Amino acid sequence: MMAMTMADDGVAPDGLLAARARDGDRAAFAALVERHYDFIFRVAFRLTGRRDAAEDVAQDVCVRLGRAISGYRGGAAFTTWLYAVVLNAARDALRRSSREAVRAHAFGTHVALFSADAAEPDDPAEALWAAVRELPDKQREAVTLVYGEGLSHAEAAEALGIAEPTVSWHVHEAKKRLKALLRPAGDERR
Amino acid sequence: MNENDPLDGLRGRPAPQPTREARQRALEAALRSYDENFSTAPQGSPDGKRQTGRISEIWRGLMQRKLAATPAIAGLVALPIAGYAAWHLMGEGSPFGPALEGGTPPPVTETQAPARQKEAAPAPKPEVAEEREIDLSTQLAARPEADQLAAQPNAAAPVEAMRSAPMPAPAGTRMVRGLSEAQSKLSVLPPEPMPPEAVSQDRLQAFDTNPVRSALESPVSTFSIDVDTASYSYVRSMLKSGVMPNPDSVRVEEMINYFPYDWKGPDAAATPFNTTVSVMPTPWNEHTQLMHVAIKGYDVQPAQQPAANLVFLIDTSGSMNAPDKLPLLKSAFRLLVNQLSDADTVSIVTYAGSAGVALEPTKGSDRAKILAALDNLGAEGSTAGEAGLKEAYRLAESSFVKDGVNRIMLATDGDFNVGPSSDEELKTLIEAKRKDGVFLSVFGFGRGNLNDQLMQTIAQNGNGTAAYIDTLAEAEKVLVQESRATLFPIAKDVKIQVEFNPAVVSEYRLIGYETRALKREDFNNDRVDAGEIGSGHSVTAIYEITPKGSPAQMMDDLRYGAGTDKPAGDAAAGAHGGEYAFVKIRYKLPGEDASRLIETPVTKANEVASFGQASADQRFSVAVAAFGQKLRDTDATASFDYDRIMEIATAARGSDPFGYRAEFLSLVRLASALDGKR
């Protein structure tokens, strides 16, 4: 079992580790999470834009993985599947904070919101990312995968569980919207 | 394409490195969660206590939370909770219920209690008593944890009392960091705050409030009946979370028709419904009157009920993975299954990444099998609504009951249509199947993603009701109290046409029914679809009418319109003089294609001298109408304040056996407070 499953460089491929983890191999699961934590954190950071939020999301993803791994069927590449888990976790986290924002607004109270201490975007790329985070869920996720993670539209479609043309459409919509979002912001800041 | 791609600046941004501590914490959390998942998998028996599992789970969730809210007794409470959880764990196999992919776990307390047990006693454990002790000590040591539980957003119990309280800040994730050391020692799983809903993405159809019309220029008003109640539940859920509902989400007629009224019904099934029309003074305007049209459907007795062939089409996409969605849905459908007779048939189709049959058509006599299939549903993947719908139609046709009820019951949180087809194509499909005798009802769950507009479209075209289920109490109302109305139609394509007599009425305004307006000529066209009335349904429509010569008249008389006074004068003098209006109702019996007509003139005999003399039910329905208009910010009720609505509704509360009206009063109070701050 072992000899044939080792990859060239002596490291077990994701798929194999995942399959073993699914069958109850704790060490394989630990290795898998260890290997991908930075990846998870990076995607979470792109989606949330803040270190502490990204750490929370990443931890949430890890907890979810402990349960969800038993449902991993190995159909898609492990990272594709992982993208979906991170996207879900980030979406939930963002919803929680936006819900708080709405509530705080409704009751007219001033609550220190998550977004209050966001870094002041002084470089244009950071400002652009900040704008991306204001997009609706699907557009934000599509843009993050395509531009942040460099996935093709087809790969992003797989991770998002939607059709490829839909990804293209979301990206297209995002561009339209970003133009509108960035114009007034740029005028004010500089 | 990259040259002028405005998003190229996004490429190649390095993300910062995660801190070692965060990384360590996350890895530990992952392993804890993994251990829990895998060490419980082989335990317990696969069936067992499923029959009562879901319902008692909800109550348990409520009880635990209430008790845990008092930190002083939290330690003591841990003992019964842990015992209960352990019992439950052994009964159900996995503490997480259905497998979750990328989701959040069901009730927080539940996932925690087993976690502790596991760390303390990793071996398989048949003895409950022993565990209780171990668990008590762990729980006492982890006291901060108990406080934290109390601070969790409403996770498990979709019960009114829990929803009404605004929940504190996103405590969960922050506290996780603070507690992480203590936790890693105690090996306690950090609780995850549940995301009950997001407010922003509900899709609502905008519509304009019905304008005041001149009885002289357009004497005829035509609309389709609407027995949906979705709008009221939606409004309620918004108000209870402390937000004024979007005016577009308020459909006044759905709010009025949410409440059961004791209108006089017909005596025999031959006439499917009875109409009562009254004219009474308007509480919010002394110069106008209300014309109150109350329709009550014949209540089919259980012995006469035809067999039902039901297909549950259940959305199990990832977004359903919230306590007010899939778990509530399962409890709700359980209630319905328990209402069915042995001759009825149930099938279950799920749709997520792909559509699948979760239960082939099964007779009501095999209830255990149906309930087990319901229990096994889990949420994952995205939505393939169209494929699911086609599959559901296939099953419905395969066990079609001639002369019976053939109905698809679609349960979704909104993102229904992700397939290649447009909403228009879906509509066409549903219409075609309706003609074949398969009807469709829609039940909306959760909030944040709700496609209210599509829900309405689907239900209207499928001859079904659209209801929004936000609590188990609401599920009980729709699927148990009103199950006969929901399931057994007694008349379909019910249209109302009112012709006003310009000699008596100068202006009129239909309250609500904006989305149900029909063209005048559609009334007699049997090909035009309209709403259906179920067994025992009550439907109410209210017009505000301005009598001739009243100072409340909005439109000035025409200077050059003197000639038009002539026919009006003739009418006053003629055979129908003194009549307010003529109400015509067209309907088809369920199995028929030709419509029948009921006509009722509205005369002085229908008049009620003062508002106070109207029946309690009438006054209550008027209070609801006023409230709905307030929420829509309608001009007519702008100066009519919430206190007056409260007064009328309180006085007209009646016996209110299910507490629906009491709840309405609390909503008015809430809206009054929220509106004042806006």
Q: Please report, as a single letter, which amino acid is at residue A91.
A: R
Contact B430, B336 (CB under 8 A): no
What band does B48 get if pLDDT is binned at 50, 70 and 90? very low
What integer pLDDT is reported at residue B90 of this predicted model?
45
User: In terms of C-beta density within 10 A (0-12 exposed, 13-18 middle, 19 or more buried), how is residue A84 classed?
Assistant: buried
- Say whether residue B13 is in contact with chain A using an 8 A CB cutoff: yes
- Say whether residue A89 is in contact with chain B using an 8 A CB cutoff: yes
Sheet holding B345-351, edge to edge: B355-363, B345-351, B308-315, B405-412, B439-445, B466-469
Q: Which helix (H) or strand (E) holds B441?
A: strand B439-445
Residues of chain A with Cβ-Cβ distance to B10 below 8 Å are 125, 128-129, 132, 143, 147-148
- Say whether residue A90 is in contact with chain B using an 8 A CB cutoff: no
Rounded-to-integer distance, Cα A24 and Cα B38, Å: 6
- Answer yes or no: do A88 and B103 touch at CB < 8 A: yes
Q: In this complex, which of A54, A68, A96 lies closest to B195 when CB atoms are compared?
A: A96
Backbone dihedral region of B437: left (phi > 0), alpha (psi from -120 to 50 degrees) or beta? left
Size of interface A-B (CB pairs under 8 A): 199
Mutation for testing the B interface, residue in A67, A123, A137 having most B CBs under 10 Å? A67
Nearest Cα to Cα of residue B361 among B393, B399, B394:
B399
DSSP-based three-state secondary structure for B485: helix
Rounded-to-integer distance, Cα B317 and Cα B384, Å: 9
What integer pLDDT is reported at residue B341 of this predicted model?
82
CA distances from A172 to A138, A165, A176, A184 (A): 12, 10, 6, 20
What integer pLDDT is reported at residue B664 of this predicted model?
93
- Say whether residue A32 is in contact with chain B using an 8 A CB cutoff: no
What is the least distance, in Å, from the CA of B451 to any CA of chain A? Answer: 16
Q: In this complex, which of A56, A89, A178 lies closest to B6 when CB atoms are compared?
A: A178
DSSP one-letter string for B228-278 = --HHHHHHHHHHHTT-PPPGGG--HHHHHTTS---PPPPSSTTS-EEEEEE
- Answer yes or no: do A99 and B353 touch at CB < 8 A: no
- Answer yes or no: do A71 and B99 touch at CB < 8 A: yes
Residues of chain A with Cβ-Cβ distance to B13 below 8 Å are 46, 125-126, 129, 148
Which of B377-386, B419-428, B531-540 is predicted with the least confidence, judged by mean pLDDT?
B377-386
Contact B393, B433 (CB under 8 A): yes
With a cut of 60, say whether residue B168 has pLDDT above it: no
DSSP one-letter string for B100-163 = -SS---S-HHHHHHHHHHHHH--S----HHHHHHHHHHHHHHTHHHHHHHHHS---S---HHHH
Q: What is the largest CA-CA distance in chain A?
A: 64
DSSP-based three-state secondary structure for B451: strand
Q: What is the largest CA-CA distance in chain B?
A: 96
What band does B566 get if pLDDT is binned at 50, 70 and 90? very low
- Do the domains spanning B213-300+490-555+579-677 and B302-486 agree at the CATH topology level? no
- CA B214 centroid distance within chain: 36
Three-state SS string across chain A, please? CHHHHCCCCCCCCHHHHHHHHHCCCHHHHHHHHHHHHHHHHHHHHHHHCCHHHHHHHHHHHHHHHHHHHHHCCCCCCHHHHHHHHHHHHHHHHHHHHHHHHHHHHHCCCCCCCHHHHCCCCCCHHHHHHHHHCCCCHHHHHHHHHHHHCCCCHHHHHHHHCCCHHHHHHHHHHHHHHHHHHHHHHHHHHC
What is the least distance, in Å, from the CA of A4 to any CA of chain B? Answer: 26
Rounded-to-integer distance, Cα B202 and Cα B243, Å: 14
Q: For residue B278, what are the contacts with CB-CB under 8 A and spacing of at least 6?
A: B291, B292, B294, B606, B607, B608, B614, B618
Q: In this complex, which of A34, A65, A147 lies closest to B11 when CB atoms are compared?
A: A147
Residues 524-583 of B with CB under 8 A from A: none
Predicted-complex ipTM score:
0.76
Instruction: Count CB atoms within 10 A of the CB of residue B41.
Output: 12
- Answer yes or no: do A147 and B8 touch at CB < 8 A: yes
Sorted by where each begins, the domain ranges of chain B are 16-186, 213-300+490-555+579-677, 302-486
Mean pLDDT of B25-29: 85
Q: B36 or B419: whose pLDDT is higher?
A: B36
- Answer yes or no: do A128 and B10 touch at CB < 8 A: yes
Name residue, tokens 């890895």.
B27
Question: Looking at B335-401, which runs of residues are DSSP E strands?
Answer: 345-351, 355-363
- Answer yes or no: do A63 and B192 touch at CB < 8 A: yes
Rounded-to-integer distance, Cα A162 and Cα A155, Å: 10
- Say whether residue A174 is in contact with chain B using an 8 A CB cutoff: yes
CA distances from B577 to B388, B509, B603, B608 (A): 57, 21, 9, 19
* B647-678: pLDDT as tens digits: 999 999 888 877 889 989 999 988 888 876 44
Instruction: For chain B, give the mean pLDDT.
Output: 72
Instruction: Count CB atoms within 10 A of the CB of residue B576.
Output: 15
Rounded-to-integer distance, Cα B279 and Cα B602, Å: 8
| Stretches in chain A below the pLDDT threshold 50 | 1-9, 104-120, 185-190
CA distances from B589 to B309, B331, B489, B494 (A): 19, 33, 9, 10
Domains in chain A with CATH codes? 8-114 (1.10.1740.10), 119-190 (1.10.10.10)
- Say whether residue B512 is in contact with chain A using an 8 A CB cutoff: no
DSSP designation for B18 = P
Specify the CATH class of B213-300+490-555+579-677 in words: mainly beta
- Say whether residue B121 is in contact with chain A using an 8 A CB cutoff: no
Rounded-to-integer distance, Cα B274 and Cα A47, Å: 58
* B596-625: pLDDT as tens digits: 898 889 988 889 888 888 999 999 999 999
Instruction: Given CATH 3.40.190.10, say whether it is the number of domain B302-486.
Output: no
Residues of chain B with Cβ-Cβ distance to A107 below 8 Å are 166, 242, 677
Strands B538-547 and B273-282: unpaired
* B297-352: pLDDT as tens digits: 888 776 667 788 888 888 887 777 777 788 888 888 888 888 788 888 888 888 77
Instruction: Count CB atoms within 10 A of the CB of residue B28.
Output: 17
With a cut of 60, say whether residue B270 has pLDDT above it: yes
What integer pLDDT is reported at residue B623 of this predicted model?
94
pTM: 0.51
Token pair listed for B382: 């995205």
Q: Which helix (H) or strand (E) holds B434?
A: helix B423-435
Q: B205 or B573: whose pLDDT is higher?
A: B205
Rounded-to-integer distance, Cα B337 and Cα B354, Å: 25
B111 φ, ψ to 5°? -70, -25
Which of A110-119, B193-202, B274-283, B573-582 is predicted with the least confidence, judged by mean pLDDT?
A110-119
What integer pLDDT is reported at residue B169 of this predicted model?
41
What integer pLDDT is reported at residue B665 of this predicted model?
92
With a cut of 90, say whether residue B195 has pLDDT above it: no
Token pair listed for A127: 């400002």
Rounded-to-integer distance, Cα B543 and Cα B279, Å: 9
Three-state SS string across B243-257, please? CCCCHHHCCHHHHHC
- Say whether residue A88 is in contact with chain B using an 8 A CB cutoff: yes
Nearest Cα to Cα of residue A105 among B327, B183, A97, B430:
A97
What integer pLDDT is reported at residue B133 of this predicted model?
40
Dihedral sign from CA coordinates of B247, B251, B252, B255? negative
What band does B561 get if pLDDT is binned at 50, 70 and 90? low
Contact A102, B241 (CB under 8 A): no
Residues of chain A with Cβ-Cβ distance to B15 below 8 Å are 41-42, 45-46, 54
Residues of chain A with Cβ-Cβ distance to B22 below 8 Å are 41, 55, 58-59
Rounded-to-integer distance, Cα B461 and Cα A39, Å: 47
Rounded-to-integer distance, Cα B180 and Cα B335, Å: 41
Q: What are B278's strand-pairing partners?
A: B292
Residues of chain A with Cβ-Cβ distance to B34 below 8 Å are 21, 26, 29, 65-67, 69
C-alpha neighbours within 13 Å on the C-beta side of residue B535:
18
* B381-415: pLDDT as tens digits: 555 667 788 888 888 888 888 877 888 888 887 66
What band does B252 get if pLDDT is binned at 50, 70 and 90? very high
| Closest residue of chain B to A180, computed from CA coordinates | B6
Token pair listed for B556: 């000035």
What band does B510 get if pLDDT is binned at 50, 70 and 90? very high
What integer pLDDT is reported at residue B340 of this predicted model?
81
Strands B220-224 and B489-500: antiparallel
Q: What are B356's strand-pairing partners?
A: B350
DSSP-based three-state secondary structure for B408: strand
What band does B466 get if pLDDT is binned at 50, 70 and 90? confident
- Answer yes or no: do B242 and A106 touch at CB < 8 A: yes
C-alpha neighbours within 13 Å on the C-beta side of residue A90:
29
What band does B129 get if pLDDT is binned at 50, 70 and 90? very low
DSSP one-letter string for B295-331 = EEE----GGGPPPEEEEEEEE-SGGG-STTTHHHHHH
| Closest residue of chain B to A68, computed from CA coordinates | B101
What integer pLDDT is reported at residue B294 of this predicted model?
92
What band does B238 get if pLDDT is binned at 50, 70 and 90? confident
- Say whether residue B241 is in contact with chain A using an 8 A CB cutoff: yes
Token pair listed for B525: 């066209």
- Answer yes or no: do A41 and B198 touch at CB < 8 A: no
Residues 282-341 of B with CB under 8 A from A: 318
Nearest Cα to Cα of residue A26 among B122, B124, B96:
B122
| Closest residue of chain A to B322, computed from CA coordinates | A92
Q: B530 or B65: whose pLDDT is higher?
A: B530
What is the least distance, in Å, from the CA of B75 to any CA of chain A? Answer: 26
- Answer yes or no: do A143 and B22 touch at CB < 8 A: no
Rounded-to-integer distance, Cα B193 and Cα B169, Å: 10
Token pair listed for B588: 């088809």
CA distances from A163 to A155, A157, A171, B102 (A): 10, 6, 13, 20
Q: For residue B387, what are the contacts with CB-CB under 8 A and spacing of at least 6?
A: B351, B354, B355, B419
What integer pLDDT is reported at residue B581 of this predicted model?
92
What integer pLDDT is reported at residue B403 of this predicted model?
77
- Say whether residue B42 is in contact with chain A using an 8 A CB cutoff: no
Max mean pLDDT among A154-163, B185-194, B542-551 falls in: B542-551
Residues of chain B with Cβ-Cβ distance to A36 below 8 Å are none
Contact B602, B291 (CB under 8 A): yes
Q: In this complex, which of B10, B104, B244 lies closest to A147 when CB atoms are compared?
A: B10
Which of B110-114, B360-364, B421-425, B564-568 is predicted with the least confidence, judged by mean pLDDT?
B110-114
Q: In this complex, which of B7, B105, B169 lies closest to A100 when CB atoms are compared?
A: B169
Rounded-to-integer distance, Cα A185 and Cα B22, Å: 34
What is the least distance, in Å, from the CA of A60 to any CA of chain B? Answer: 8
Mean pLDDT of B586-595: 84
Residues of chain B with Cβ-Cβ distance to A37 below 8 Å are 18, 23, 26-27
- Say whether residue A117 is in contact with chain B using an 8 A CB cutoff: no
What is the least distance, in Å, from the CA of A180 to any CA of chain B? Answer: 12
